[in-house]
Amino acid sequence: MNAQKHVSPDRIRAAFSAAMSAMYKQEVPAYGTLMELVADINAAVLANDSHLHERLKETDSLERITEERHGAIRLGTAAELAMMRRVFAVMGMYPVGYYDLSVAGIPVHSTAFRPIDDAALKHNPFRVFTSLLRLDLIKDEDLRKQAEETLTRRQIFTPGAVALVEKAETEGGLDEADARRFVEEVLETFRWHDKASVSADLYKRLHDAHRLIADVVSFKGPHINHLTPRTLDIDAVQEQMPKRGINPKAVVEGPPSRKCPILLRQTSFKALEEPVSFSDENGNWTPGTHTARFGEIEQRGIALTPKGRALYDKLLDATREKVRPAADGSNTAEYMKALEETFAAFPDSWEEIRAQGLGYFAYSVKDEAALARFAPGADLEAMIAAGAVQFDPIVYEDFLPVSAAGIFQSNLGDDAAQEFVESPNQKRFEQDLGAKVLNEFEHYARIERESLEAIQRRLSTAEA
Ligand code: OOG
Ligand code: NI
Protein backbone atom coordinates (compact mmCIF):
# COMPACT_ATOMS: atom_id res chain seq x y z
CA MET A 1 0.00 0.00 0.00
CA ASN A 2 1.13 3.56 -0.56
CA ALA A 3 0.91 4.97 2.94
CA GLN A 4 3.52 7.61 2.07
CA LYS A 5 1.07 9.17 -0.37
CA HIS A 6 -1.57 9.56 2.33
CA VAL A 7 -2.29 13.02 3.65
CA SER A 8 -2.12 13.16 7.46
CA PRO A 9 -5.51 13.34 9.21
CA ASP A 10 -4.26 16.56 10.88
CA ARG A 11 -3.94 18.24 7.51
CA ILE A 12 -7.37 17.09 6.39
CA ARG A 13 -8.83 18.48 9.62
CA ALA A 14 -7.07 21.82 9.13
CA ALA A 15 -8.40 22.07 5.57
CA PHE A 16 -11.88 21.15 6.78
CA SER A 17 -11.79 23.73 9.57
CA ALA A 18 -10.69 26.45 7.11
CA ALA A 19 -13.42 25.47 4.64
CA MET A 20 -16.06 25.54 7.38
CA SER A 21 -14.87 28.97 8.50
CA ALA A 22 -15.07 30.39 4.98
CA MET A 23 -18.51 28.90 4.41
CA TYR A 24 -19.90 30.08 7.73
CA LYS A 25 -18.63 33.65 7.33
CA GLN A 26 -20.44 33.77 4.04
CA GLU A 27 -23.61 32.21 5.41
CA VAL A 28 -23.67 34.30 8.60
CA PRO A 29 -22.04 37.71 8.04
CA ALA A 30 -22.38 38.56 11.77
CA TYR A 31 -19.94 35.74 12.40
CA GLY A 32 -17.39 37.50 10.20
CA THR A 33 -17.92 40.64 12.29
CA LEU A 34 -17.29 38.65 15.47
CA MET A 35 -14.08 37.24 13.98
CA GLU A 36 -12.85 40.76 13.20
CA LEU A 37 -13.60 41.91 16.74
CA VAL A 38 -11.78 38.88 18.18
CA ALA A 39 -8.75 39.52 15.96
CA ASP A 40 -8.65 43.20 17.02
CA ILE A 41 -8.87 42.36 20.71
CA ASN A 42 -6.31 39.58 20.48
CA ALA A 43 -3.92 41.99 18.75
CA ALA A 44 -4.47 44.61 21.46
CA VAL A 45 -3.87 42.08 24.25
CA LEU A 46 -0.65 40.90 22.61
CA ALA A 47 0.58 44.46 22.11
CA ASN A 48 0.22 45.00 25.86
CA ASP A 49 1.62 41.69 27.02
CA SER A 50 5.04 40.98 25.55
CA HIS A 51 5.44 37.92 27.80
CA LEU A 52 2.33 36.27 26.37
CA HIS A 53 3.40 37.34 22.89
CA GLU A 54 6.76 35.57 23.35
CA ARG A 55 5.18 32.44 24.78
CA LEU A 56 2.73 32.10 21.92
CA LYS A 57 5.56 32.59 19.47
CA GLU A 58 7.63 29.93 21.19
CA THR A 59 4.81 27.43 21.15
CA ASP A 60 4.30 28.21 17.51
CA SER A 61 0.70 29.26 17.88
CA LEU A 62 0.85 32.98 17.20
CA GLU A 63 -0.40 32.95 13.62
CA ARG A 64 -3.17 30.54 14.41
CA ILE A 65 -4.39 32.35 17.46
CA THR A 66 -7.78 33.36 16.10
CA GLU A 67 -8.40 30.17 14.16
CA GLU A 68 -11.61 28.35 15.10
CA ARG A 69 -11.41 26.06 18.07
CA HIS A 70 -14.76 24.36 17.72
CA GLY A 71 -18.18 24.20 16.10
CA ALA A 72 -21.40 22.36 16.88
CA ILE A 73 -24.02 20.23 15.14
CA ARG A 74 -27.17 18.40 16.21
CA LEU A 75 -27.99 15.02 14.69
CA GLY A 76 -31.30 13.21 14.42
CA THR A 77 -30.62 9.48 14.35
CA ALA A 78 -28.26 6.80 15.62
CA ALA A 79 -27.26 6.01 12.02
CA GLU A 80 -26.26 9.66 11.45
CA LEU A 81 -24.18 9.64 14.62
CA ALA A 82 -22.43 6.39 13.75
CA MET A 83 -21.55 7.62 10.25
CA MET A 84 -20.44 10.99 11.60
CA ARG A 85 -17.99 9.15 13.86
CA ARG A 86 -16.42 7.52 10.80
CA VAL A 87 -16.27 10.84 8.94
CA PHE A 88 -14.49 12.57 11.83
CA ALA A 89 -12.09 9.64 12.27
CA VAL A 90 -10.71 10.37 8.77
CA MET A 91 -9.77 13.81 10.14
CA GLY A 92 -8.19 12.48 13.34
CA MET A 93 -11.16 13.47 15.52
CA TYR A 94 -12.41 11.02 18.16
CA PRO A 95 -15.29 11.13 20.64
CA VAL A 96 -14.24 12.48 24.03
CA GLY A 97 -16.62 12.93 26.98
CA TYR A 98 -20.33 12.35 27.46
CA TYR A 99 -22.62 15.31 28.16
CA ASP A 100 -26.19 14.87 29.29
CA LEU A 101 -28.15 18.02 28.50
CA SER A 102 -31.53 16.66 29.62
CA VAL A 103 -30.61 17.96 33.10
CA ALA A 104 -30.90 21.44 31.67
CA GLY A 105 -34.17 20.89 29.84
CA ILE A 106 -32.60 20.19 26.45
CA PRO A 107 -33.54 16.88 24.82
CA VAL A 108 -30.08 15.84 23.59
CA HIS A 109 -26.97 14.08 24.74
CA SER A 110 -23.58 14.83 23.27
CA THR A 111 -19.90 14.19 22.84
CA ALA A 112 -17.07 16.21 21.33
CA PHE A 113 -15.11 14.84 18.39
CA ARG A 114 -11.61 16.14 18.75
CA PRO A 115 -7.92 15.57 18.15
CA ILE A 116 -6.51 13.88 21.22
CA ASP A 117 -2.75 14.09 21.43
CA ASP A 118 -0.78 17.23 21.95
CA ALA A 119 0.86 17.33 18.52
CA ALA A 120 -2.52 16.92 16.80
CA LEU A 121 -4.12 19.64 18.93
CA LYS A 122 -1.23 21.97 18.14
CA HIS A 123 -1.45 21.27 14.43
CA ASN A 124 -5.11 22.16 14.41
CA PRO A 125 -7.38 22.13 17.47
CA PHE A 126 -10.73 22.02 15.68
CA ARG A 127 -13.45 20.04 17.52
CA VAL A 128 -17.10 19.48 16.83
CA PHE A 129 -19.54 19.37 19.74
CA THR A 130 -22.01 16.81 18.45
CA SER A 131 -25.46 16.27 19.92
CA LEU A 132 -27.96 13.53 19.27
CA LEU A 133 -31.62 14.37 19.57
CA ARG A 134 -33.49 12.25 22.10
CA LEU A 135 -36.88 11.61 20.62
CA ASP A 136 -37.56 9.32 23.60
CA LEU A 137 -38.05 12.49 25.62
CA ILE A 138 -40.95 13.72 23.42
CA LYS A 139 -44.19 12.88 25.16
CA ASP A 140 -46.59 13.23 22.21
CA GLU A 141 -46.36 9.81 20.58
CA ASP A 142 -47.87 10.86 17.28
CA LEU A 143 -45.44 13.73 16.92
CA ARG A 144 -42.55 11.47 17.86
CA LYS A 145 -43.50 9.07 15.07
CA GLN A 146 -43.75 11.86 12.52
CA ALA A 147 -40.38 13.20 13.58
CA GLU A 148 -38.84 9.75 13.31
CA GLU A 149 -40.29 9.21 9.85
CA THR A 150 -39.05 12.57 8.63
CA LEU A 151 -35.57 11.84 9.92
CA THR A 152 -35.28 8.34 8.46
CA ARG A 153 -36.16 9.73 5.03
CA ARG A 154 -33.18 12.07 4.89
CA GLN A 155 -29.63 11.25 3.87
CA ILE A 156 -27.24 13.82 5.32
CA PHE A 157 -24.05 12.52 3.66
CA THR A 158 -23.34 12.77 -0.05
CA PRO A 159 -22.61 9.46 -1.83
CA GLY A 160 -19.13 10.86 -2.54
CA ALA A 161 -18.46 11.44 1.14
CA VAL A 162 -19.56 7.93 2.06
CA ALA A 163 -17.39 6.39 -0.67
CA LEU A 164 -14.33 8.35 0.46
CA VAL A 165 -14.84 7.36 4.10
CA GLU A 166 -14.94 3.73 3.02
CA LYS A 167 -11.84 4.20 0.92
CA ALA A 168 -9.97 5.85 3.79
CA GLU A 169 -10.96 2.97 6.05
CA THR A 170 -9.85 0.21 3.70
CA GLU A 171 -6.70 1.89 2.46
CA GLY A 172 -5.67 3.48 5.75
CA GLY A 173 -5.89 7.05 4.48
CA LEU A 174 -6.53 9.36 1.52
CA ASP A 175 -4.13 10.80 -1.02
CA GLU A 176 -3.95 14.50 -1.81
CA ALA A 177 -6.68 14.60 -4.47
CA ASP A 178 -9.06 12.40 -2.49
CA ALA A 179 -8.47 14.43 0.67
CA ARG A 180 -9.43 17.59 -1.21
CA ARG A 181 -12.55 15.95 -2.54
CA PHE A 182 -13.36 14.57 0.89
CA VAL A 183 -13.37 18.07 2.42
CA GLU A 184 -15.63 19.37 -0.36
CA GLU A 185 -18.07 16.47 -0.04
CA VAL A 186 -18.19 16.54 3.76
CA LEU A 187 -18.72 20.30 3.79
CA GLU A 188 -22.10 19.69 2.11
CA THR A 189 -23.41 17.98 5.26
CA PHE A 190 -22.83 21.13 7.31
CA ARG A 191 -24.32 23.57 4.85
CA TRP A 192 -27.41 25.66 5.62
CA HIS A 193 -30.64 24.88 3.74
CA ASP A 194 -33.27 27.56 3.84
CA LYS A 195 -35.88 25.27 2.34
CA ALA A 196 -37.31 23.17 5.14
CA SER A 197 -38.19 19.56 4.47
CA VAL A 198 -41.43 19.79 6.49
CA SER A 199 -44.67 21.73 6.23
CA ALA A 200 -45.28 24.91 8.20
CA ASP A 201 -47.78 22.99 10.29
CA LEU A 202 -45.40 20.19 11.27
CA TYR A 203 -42.66 22.73 11.95
CA LYS A 204 -44.95 24.52 14.36
CA ARG A 205 -45.85 21.34 16.20
CA LEU A 206 -42.20 20.31 16.48
CA HIS A 207 -41.31 23.80 17.60
CA ASP A 208 -43.99 23.77 20.27
CA ALA A 209 -42.63 20.47 21.61
CA HIS A 210 -39.15 22.08 21.79
CA ARG A 211 -37.39 24.53 19.48
CA LEU A 212 -34.44 22.23 19.28
CA ILE A 213 -36.57 19.40 17.94
CA ALA A 214 -37.74 21.67 15.12
CA ASP A 215 -34.15 22.64 14.37
CA VAL A 216 -33.02 19.02 14.05
CA VAL A 217 -36.00 17.50 12.28
CA SER A 218 -37.08 20.19 9.81
CA PHE A 219 -34.03 20.46 7.58
CA LYS A 220 -32.12 18.41 5.04
CA GLY A 221 -29.01 18.27 7.15
CA PRO A 222 -27.33 19.18 10.44
CA HIS A 223 -26.24 22.72 9.51
CA ILE A 224 -23.28 23.93 11.53
CA ASN A 225 -24.95 26.11 14.18
CA HIS A 226 -21.89 28.03 15.38
CA LEU A 227 -18.12 28.29 15.16
CA THR A 228 -15.92 29.43 18.00
CA PRO A 229 -12.56 31.20 17.80
CA ARG A 230 -10.28 31.65 20.79
CA THR A 231 -10.09 35.04 22.43
CA LEU A 232 -7.37 36.29 24.75
CA ASP A 233 -9.86 38.55 26.57
CA ILE A 234 -13.40 37.25 26.64
CA ASP A 235 -14.74 40.06 28.85
CA ALA A 236 -13.54 42.68 26.36
CA VAL A 237 -15.20 40.88 23.43
CA GLN A 238 -18.44 40.46 25.43
CA GLU A 239 -18.44 44.16 26.22
CA GLN A 240 -17.66 45.34 22.72
CA MET A 241 -20.04 43.14 20.75
CA PRO A 242 -22.92 45.66 20.85
CA LYS A 243 -20.62 48.38 19.48
CA ARG A 244 -20.21 46.25 16.37
CA GLY A 245 -23.91 45.64 16.08
CA ILE A 246 -24.01 42.10 17.46
CA ASN A 247 -26.11 41.10 20.43
CA PRO A 248 -24.30 39.06 23.13
CA LYS A 249 -25.98 36.57 25.41
CA ALA A 250 -26.57 37.90 28.92
CA VAL A 251 -23.59 36.39 30.75
CA VAL A 252 -20.25 34.75 30.09
CA GLU A 253 -20.60 31.06 30.99
CA GLY A 254 -18.15 29.29 33.27
CA PRO A 255 -15.86 30.56 36.03
CA PRO A 256 -15.18 34.25 36.60
CA SER A 257 -12.07 35.99 35.31
CA ARG A 258 -9.07 34.90 37.45
CA LYS A 259 -5.27 35.15 37.66
CA CYS A 260 -5.06 31.40 37.06
CA PRO A 261 -7.77 30.52 34.53
CA ILE A 262 -9.62 27.23 35.09
CA LEU A 263 -11.66 25.10 32.67
CA LEU A 264 -13.53 27.09 30.06
CA ARG A 265 -15.21 30.46 29.73
CA GLN A 266 -17.49 31.03 26.75
CA THR A 267 -20.09 33.40 25.41
CA SER A 268 -21.96 33.91 22.14
CA PHE A 269 -23.98 36.36 20.18
CA LYS A 270 -27.62 35.44 20.04
CA ALA A 271 -28.89 33.37 17.16
CA LEU A 272 -30.33 35.29 14.23
CA GLU A 273 -33.87 34.99 12.98
CA GLU A 274 -33.46 33.85 9.39
CA PRO A 275 -35.92 33.52 6.53
CA VAL A 276 -36.83 29.95 5.56
CA SER A 277 -39.65 28.40 3.58
CA PHE A 278 -41.85 25.42 4.24
CA SER A 279 -43.28 23.09 1.65
CA ASP A 280 -46.87 21.96 1.43
CA GLU A 281 -48.22 18.79 -0.17
CA ASN A 282 -48.77 20.63 -3.48
CA GLY A 283 -45.14 21.63 -3.71
CA ASN A 284 -45.78 25.28 -2.88
CA TRP A 285 -43.47 27.19 -0.55
CA THR A 286 -44.69 29.24 2.42
CA PRO A 287 -42.29 31.78 3.91
CA GLY A 288 -41.37 31.65 7.60
CA THR A 289 -38.40 32.11 9.90
CA HIS A 290 -36.06 29.94 11.92
CA THR A 291 -33.62 30.85 14.69
CA ALA A 292 -30.61 28.62 15.16
CA ARG A 293 -27.31 30.02 14.02
CA PHE A 294 -24.92 32.14 16.05
CA GLY A 295 -21.25 32.80 16.80
CA GLU A 296 -19.32 32.02 19.97
CA ILE A 297 -15.94 32.71 21.59
CA GLU A 298 -13.97 30.78 24.16
CA GLN A 299 -11.07 31.13 26.55
CA ARG A 300 -9.54 28.07 28.19
CA GLY A 301 -7.73 27.36 31.45
CA ILE A 302 -6.41 24.40 33.41
CA ALA A 303 -8.07 20.96 33.35
CA LEU A 304 -9.41 20.13 36.81
CA THR A 305 -9.20 16.80 38.62
CA PRO A 306 -12.45 15.20 39.84
CA LYS A 307 -11.79 16.95 43.17
CA GLY A 308 -11.28 20.33 41.49
CA ARG A 309 -14.29 19.79 39.27
CA ALA A 310 -16.46 18.95 42.30
CA LEU A 311 -15.37 22.22 43.89
CA TYR A 312 -16.08 24.10 40.65
CA ASP A 313 -19.56 22.53 40.39
CA LYS A 314 -20.30 23.29 44.03
CA LEU A 315 -19.31 26.95 43.68
CA LEU A 316 -21.25 27.35 40.44
CA ASP A 317 -24.36 25.85 42.07
CA ALA A 318 -23.94 28.14 45.06
CA THR A 319 -23.67 31.16 42.75
CA ARG A 320 -26.81 30.19 40.85
CA GLU A 321 -28.69 29.70 44.07
CA LYS A 322 -27.91 33.31 44.93
CA VAL A 323 -28.56 34.78 41.49
CA ARG A 324 -29.97 32.95 38.49
CA PRO A 325 -28.84 34.88 35.39
CA ALA A 326 -31.86 36.29 33.57
CA ALA A 327 -31.86 35.84 29.79
CA ASP A 328 -32.71 39.51 29.24
CA GLY A 329 -29.52 40.65 30.98
CA SER A 330 -31.39 42.51 33.74
CA ASN A 331 -29.25 41.01 36.55
CA THR A 332 -25.96 40.43 34.75
CA ALA A 333 -23.90 42.68 37.04
CA GLU A 334 -25.38 41.01 40.11
CA TYR A 335 -24.66 37.55 38.74
CA MET A 336 -21.06 38.36 37.84
CA LYS A 337 -20.52 39.82 41.32
CA ALA A 338 -21.97 36.72 43.01
CA LEU A 339 -19.82 34.53 40.75
CA GLU A 340 -16.64 36.36 41.72
CA GLU A 341 -17.45 36.35 45.41
CA THR A 342 -18.31 32.67 45.49
CA PHE A 343 -15.26 31.65 43.48
CA ALA A 344 -12.97 33.42 45.94
CA ALA A 345 -13.05 29.99 47.64
CA PHE A 346 -11.21 28.45 44.66
CA PRO A 347 -7.42 28.84 45.11
CA ASP A 348 -5.94 31.25 42.57
CA SER A 349 -2.27 30.27 42.38
CA TRP A 350 -0.81 27.32 40.47
CA GLU A 351 1.08 26.23 43.59
CA GLU A 352 -2.06 26.05 45.70
CA ILE A 353 -4.15 24.43 42.96
CA ARG A 354 -1.46 21.79 42.68
CA ALA A 355 -0.96 21.38 46.45
CA GLN A 356 -4.68 20.74 46.91
CA GLY A 357 -4.86 18.31 43.98
CA LEU A 358 -7.43 20.42 42.11
CA GLY A 359 -5.80 20.57 38.67
CA TYR A 360 -3.69 18.52 36.26
CA PHE A 361 -0.11 19.57 35.53
CA ALA A 362 2.56 18.52 33.07
CA TYR A 363 6.01 18.20 34.61
CA SER A 364 9.24 18.90 32.77
CA VAL A 365 12.95 19.33 33.44
CA LYS A 366 13.78 22.89 34.34
CA ASP A 367 17.50 22.59 35.05
CA GLU A 368 19.62 19.66 33.86
CA ALA A 369 22.44 20.28 36.31
CA ALA A 370 20.07 20.42 39.25
CA LEU A 371 18.35 17.25 38.04
CA ALA A 372 21.67 15.40 37.82
CA ARG A 373 21.94 15.53 41.61
CA PHE A 374 18.89 13.27 42.01
CA ALA A 375 18.85 9.47 41.99
CA PRO A 376 16.15 7.30 40.35
CA GLY A 377 12.93 7.28 42.36
CA ALA A 378 13.69 10.75 43.77
CA ASP A 379 10.86 12.62 45.43
CA LEU A 380 8.98 14.98 43.12
CA GLU A 381 8.56 17.72 45.72
CA ALA A 382 12.28 17.68 46.44
CA MET A 383 13.09 18.02 42.72
CA ILE A 384 10.68 20.94 42.41
CA ALA A 385 12.09 22.61 45.52
CA ALA A 386 15.61 22.25 44.10
CA GLY A 387 14.56 23.94 40.87
CA ALA A 388 15.22 20.79 38.84
CA VAL A 389 11.63 20.21 37.76
CA GLN A 390 8.84 22.61 36.81
CA PHE A 391 5.10 22.19 36.35
CA ASP A 392 2.72 23.78 33.84
CA PRO A 393 -1.07 23.63 33.83
CA ILE A 394 -2.60 21.21 31.31
CA VAL A 395 -5.20 23.06 29.23
CA TYR A 396 -8.80 21.84 29.42
CA GLU A 397 -9.77 20.84 25.88
CA ASP A 398 -13.34 19.68 26.60
CA PHE A 399 -16.73 21.19 27.40
CA LEU A 400 -18.96 21.87 30.42
CA PRO A 401 -22.58 20.72 30.55
CA VAL A 402 -23.92 23.75 32.44
CA SER A 403 -22.10 26.15 30.10
CA ALA A 404 -23.24 24.21 27.05
CA ALA A 405 -26.81 24.36 28.34
CA GLY A 406 -26.49 28.13 28.75
CA ILE A 407 -25.23 28.42 25.17
CA PHE A 408 -28.06 26.21 23.87
CA GLN A 409 -30.71 28.10 25.87
CA SER A 410 -29.73 31.59 24.84
CA ASN A 411 -29.79 30.49 21.22
CA LEU A 412 -33.13 28.76 21.33
CA GLY A 413 -34.93 31.91 22.30
CA ASP A 414 -35.25 33.03 25.87
CA ASP A 415 -38.64 31.46 26.47
CA ALA A 416 -37.37 28.00 25.70
CA ALA A 417 -36.60 26.71 29.21
CA GLN A 418 -38.43 23.46 29.65
CA GLU A 419 -38.44 20.52 32.02
CA PHE A 420 -37.31 17.04 31.08
CA VAL A 421 -36.68 14.19 33.40
CA GLU A 422 -32.97 14.00 34.02
CA SER A 423 -31.89 10.80 32.32
CA PRO A 424 -28.28 10.41 31.36
CA ASN A 425 -27.84 7.39 29.16
CA GLN A 426 -24.22 7.06 28.18
CA LYS A 427 -24.60 3.39 27.38
CA ARG A 428 -27.32 4.06 24.85
CA PHE A 429 -25.32 6.92 23.37
CA GLU A 430 -22.27 4.69 22.93
CA GLN A 431 -24.38 1.98 21.34
CA ASP A 432 -25.72 4.50 18.84
CA LEU A 433 -22.25 5.91 18.25
CA GLY A 434 -20.80 2.45 17.72
CA ALA A 435 -17.86 3.18 20.04
CA LYS A 436 -17.01 4.19 23.57
CA VAL A 437 -16.19 7.80 24.34
CA LEU A 438 -12.85 8.59 25.94
CA ASN A 439 -13.17 9.65 29.58
CA GLU A 440 -11.67 13.14 29.74
CA PHE A 441 -10.47 12.86 33.35
CA GLU A 442 -8.60 9.64 32.65
CA HIS A 443 -7.06 11.30 29.63
CA TYR A 444 -5.67 14.30 31.56
CA ALA A 445 -4.48 12.03 34.37
CA ARG A 446 -2.55 10.03 31.79
CA ILE A 447 -0.84 13.11 30.34
CA GLU A 448 0.23 14.08 33.85
CA ARG A 449 1.42 10.57 34.71
CA GLU A 450 3.40 10.24 31.49
CA SER A 451 5.17 13.54 32.12
CA LEU A 452 6.25 12.24 35.54
CA GLU A 453 7.38 8.93 34.10
CA ALA A 454 9.49 10.75 31.53
CA ILE A 455 11.32 12.56 34.33
CA GLN A 456 11.94 9.33 36.22
CA ARG A 457 13.31 7.78 33.03
CA ARG A 458 15.71 10.69 32.71
CA LEU A 459 16.97 9.98 36.23
CA SER A 460 17.59 6.33 35.42
CA THR A 461 19.45 7.05 32.19
CA ALA A 462 21.52 9.76 33.84
CA GLU A 463 22.59 7.14 36.39
CA ALA A 464 23.53 4.51 33.82
C1 OOG B 1 -24.11 23.23 21.22
C2 OOG B 1 -23.91 24.05 22.45
C3 OOG B 1 -22.68 23.58 23.21
C4 OOG B 1 -20.49 24.69 23.74
O5 OOG B 1 -19.56 25.41 23.36
O6 OOG B 1 -20.64 24.40 24.94
C7 OOG B 1 -21.43 24.18 22.73
C8 OOG B 1 -25.32 23.59 20.42
O9 OOG B 1 -25.94 24.64 20.63
O10 OOG B 1 -25.63 22.77 19.53
O11 OOG B 1 -21.11 24.31 21.59
NI1 NI C 1 -19.86 26.01 21.39
Q: What is the pLDDT of residues 339-349, one digit of tens each?
A: 999 999 999 99
Q: Ligand 1 centroid vs 313 CA: distance in angstroms?
A: 19
Length of the chain: 464
Q: How confident is the model at residue 110 (pLDDT cuts 50, 70, 90)?
A: very high
Q: What is the pLDDT of residues 248-286, one digit of tens each?
A: 999 999 999 999 999 999 999 999 999 999 988 788 899
Q: For residue 311, which amino acid is it?
A: L
Distance CA 395, CA 404 (A): 18
Distance CA 188, CA 166 (A): 18
Which ligand 1 atom sits nearest the alpha carbon of residue 266? 5
Distance CA 254, CA 325 (A): 12
CB neighbour list of residue 263: distance below 8 Å, 6 or more residues apart? 254, 255, 300, 301, 302, 303, 304, 312, 396, 400
Predicted local confidence at residue 34, as pLDDT: 95
- Protein residue whose Cα sits closest to atom 1 of ligand 1: 72
**Second CATH level (architecture) for the domain 3-301+397-433:** Roll (3.10)
Q: What is the pLDDT of residues 174-233, one digit of tens each?
A: 999 999 999 999 999 999 999 999 999 999 999 999 999 999 999 999 999 999 999 999
Substitution site in 129, 227, 272, 403 for ligand 1 pocket (most atoms within 8 Å of beta carbon): 129
**Residue range(s) in the chain whose domain bears CATH number 3.10.180.80:** 3-301+397-433
Distance CA 408, CA 104 (A): 10
Q: Ligand 1 centroid vs 245 CA: distance in angstroms?
A: 22
Distance CA 62, CA 99 (A): 31
Give buried/exposed letters for 365-392 (b at 16+ CB in 10 A, else e): eeeeeebeebeeebeeeebbeeebbebe
Predicted local confidence at residue 421, as pLDDT: 63
Predicted local confidence at residue 52, as pLDDT: 87
Q: What is the pLDDT of residues 323-332, one digit of tens each?
A: 999 988 899 9
> Which residues partner with 74 through β-bridges?
131
Q: Ligand 2 centroid vs 127 CA: distance in angstroms?
A: 10
Predicted local confidence at residue 102, as pLDDT: 87
User: pLDDT at residue 136 above 90?
Assistant: no
Q: Ligand 2 centroid vs 42 CA: distance in angstroms?
A: 19
Which ligand 1 atom sits nearest the alpha carbon of residue 400? 6
User: pLDDT at residue 96 above 80?
Assistant: yes
Q: Ligand 1 centroid vs 455 CA: distance in angstroms?
A: 38
Q: What is the pLDDT of residues 389-436, one digit of tens each?
A: 999 999 999 999 888 888 888 888 755 556 666 667 999 999 999 999
141-153 helix and 200-209 helix, angle to the nearest 10 degrees: 120
- Protein residue whose Cα sits closest to atom 3 of ligand 1: 404
List pocket residues of ligand 1, CB cut-off 6 Å.
72, 74, 129, 131, 225, 266, 296, 399, 403-404, 407-408, 411
Predicted local confidence at residue 283, as pLDDT: 82
- Protein residue whose Cα sits closest to atom 6 of ligand 1: 404
